[in-house]
Amino acid sequence: MSKKSLPTTRKQGKARLGDQIRSIADRLKQETDVQIKTTSRILGAAAQIAENHDRLISEVVEMVESDLNLEKQVSQKYIYTIDILKQQFKTLRDAKAHFNLKVSSWESLVNKLNTASYQTTIIQNKPQSNHTLTDNHVIKGEVNHKRIEKLIVFLEPDVAEIFPNSEAVNEGLRFLIRVTSKNSF
């Protein structure tokens, strides 16, 4: 072997080693770029989630406020006056019989009907006529020419703890309907 071939081999070895180091550095740079892009996407998704969360909270607040306003409107619908009752019923006797109350005057009837405890009873037990019970436990009837359907449902004990009455069940189901219908679009 000549002395000239030995230094050439060292130069070639150093060149190969340098190429390998550059190759490793390039791969590390590419991996770093991928990691930066991935981190950026993750942060973008997190920002989108936070924005959606804020929007959902706003929607829930709006729905609750709407429910509260609707509840106020419903309770205001059942305010009776002497004039309204006299238009609805021919005599005090007819009105007393309809509401199943013992009173001595139109004024005392109005006072009893407008008490908070009686209002709750009216709202929960709206008078119905022409009831028929079908095989699937749906009660159908008409009140003031509006068709009404009620479904008899039996709650499991753990659910009944959360929803103690039909009003709470209906409120919860309406809320669920609104949330799912808004998010389905």
Per-residue pLDDT tens digits for 103-125: 999 998 888 887 755 555 554 44
The model's pTM: 0.30
Whether 100 has a pLDDT exceeding 60, the answer reads yes
Q: Which residues pair with 140 in a beta bridge?
A: 132, 149
Whether 39 has a pLDDT exceeding 70, the answer reads yes
Closest CA to 83 of 118, 107, 100, 102: 107
Closest CA to 76 of 105, 35, 116: 116
Write out the DSSP string of 75-99: HHHT---HHHHHHH-SSHHHHHHHH
pLDDT value at position 137? Answer: 43
Task: Give the tens place of pLDDT for each residue, 7-26.
Answer: 666 777 777 888 899 999 99
Closest CA to 95 of 77, 114, 78, 82: 82
More confident residue, 142 or 56: 56
